[in-house]
Amino acid sequence: MFDSFNGLPLHSLVLHTVVIAVPLAMLLAVLFGIPRFRNWARWPLALVAVGAAVVTFVTRQSGLALEKMLNIKPGNAVGNLITKHSQLATQLLIMVIVFAVLAVAAAFLVSRKPASDAGGRRLLDIGLPLLVIAVGLLMTVWVVRVGDLGARAVWNPEGKATYSSSGR
């Protein structure tokens, strides 16, 4: 189910969706954290966060299917990079799911009005958006880490190639 689409590996097609959806969700989290933009960003944040979780799941599953189809095992440069890539992708999936749950909770629980002086309400209105932003930053860093390992496994597994024009 997660192996190919139209004869192409599904993983190479859907991974770009994660690369776009996760930073977009992070940007919406930052906007949600600013009270002035909160009402505008509330539902786009929740929808993009859930969408990011779905596409991250599909991307991870398609990566596992590709790994199995190509019979990639640890023990060489590519296999070792793919193993680490897969481990980080699993961690990323957990982060994105946590982010989605927090984003949806924030969309429902954080006040639509400016923060009041009531202690518990104020803590929720400030603390939950900050937590969403913190998890969003972490998952965005993880997307870069996962993508870097995947790209190195495909394009430069031995680490010998340089792509700088100054090295001619």
Query: pLDDT tens across 44-90, in order?
Result: 999 999 999 999 999 999 999 999 999 999 999 999 999 999 999 99
Torsion of CA 154, 139, 55, 88, to 10 degrees: 40
In the chain the beta strands, taken as DSSP E runs, fall at 4-5, 8-9
Name the pLDDT band for 119 (thresholds 50, 70, 90). low
Name the pLDDT band for 122 (thresholds 50, 70, 90). confident
The answer, yes or no, to whether residue 94 has pLDDT greater than 60, is: yes
DSSP secondary structure string for all residues of 19-33: HHHHHHHHHHHHHHH
Greater pLDDT, 155 or 104? 104
